[in-house]
Amino acid sequence: MGVGGTAMTEDPVAPAARVAAELEIRNVLALLAQLADRGDIDGYVALLTDDVVWAMPENPAIGLAASERRGRDEIVTGQRERIAAGLQGPGSDTMHVLSTISVEVSRDGDTAVARSYFQYWGTTTTEPAVKNLGRYHDELRRTSDGWKLARRTITFG
């Protein structure tokens, strides 16, 4: 029997491969946060699929309008806007912190869903304070270059 008393069916992805995929995905999520904080746009977009979608509701806490960006070029534009506004990157004194991460790899092992909580900290070098928090609902896809983020949906609160 599986979790919750459900009958288990044979899983085509071996347990070791599933664990390896989960670890790779967790590293992708961590790197996305770290690269955003460093302002490394090229490194950031290298972890995205070509057809990535990044959806965020209005964020009045830091003055950002709701947006849904599609494709790497639109993501680059958004990254540059946030760096120029001092919301991320060098000199911004900000930090993205992820926690409570769960990863579900599909039966075929080629896609996954990750859910996590995030905290967005400001004034990190003087008086660290949480400026926002919420949840990421991420969809990832295995590619020939490893796991990539295909969609991120952000909710606040």
Instruction: Give this prediction's pTM.
Output: 0.88
Query: φ, ψ for residue 121 (rounded to 5)?
Result: -100, 145
Query: Is the pLDDT score of 8 beyond 70?
Result: no
C-alpha angle 24/27/100, rounded to 5°?
A: 105
CA distance 24 to 112: 11
pLDDT on residue 57: 95
Query: Is the pLDDT score of 7 beyond 70?
Result: no
Question: Mapped to the 3 state alphabet, what secondary structure does the chain carry?
Answer: CCHHHCCCCCCCCCHHHHHHHHHHHHHHHHHHHHHHHHCCHHHHHCCEEEEEEEEECCECCCCECCEEEEHHHHHHHHHHHHHHCCCCCCCCCCEEEEEEEEEEECCCCCEEEEEEEEEEEECCCCCCEEEEEEEEEEEEEEECCEEEEEEEEEEEC
Q: What is the mean pLDDT of the chain?
A: 92
Closest by Cα among 30, 35, 86 to 62: 86
Query: Is the pLDDT score of 1 beyond 50?
Result: no
Mean pLDDT to the nearest integer, 29-50: 97
pLDDT on residue 63: 84
pLDDT over 70 percentage in the chain: 92
pLDDT on residue 64: 86
Q: Cβ distance 47 to 41 under 8 Å?
A: no
- Please name each of the domains of the chain with its CATH number: 21-156 (3.10.450.50)
pLDDT in tens, 87-125: 999 999 999 999 999 999 999 999 999 999 999 999 999
Q: Quick one: pLDDT band at residue 56, thresholds 50, 70, 90? A: very high
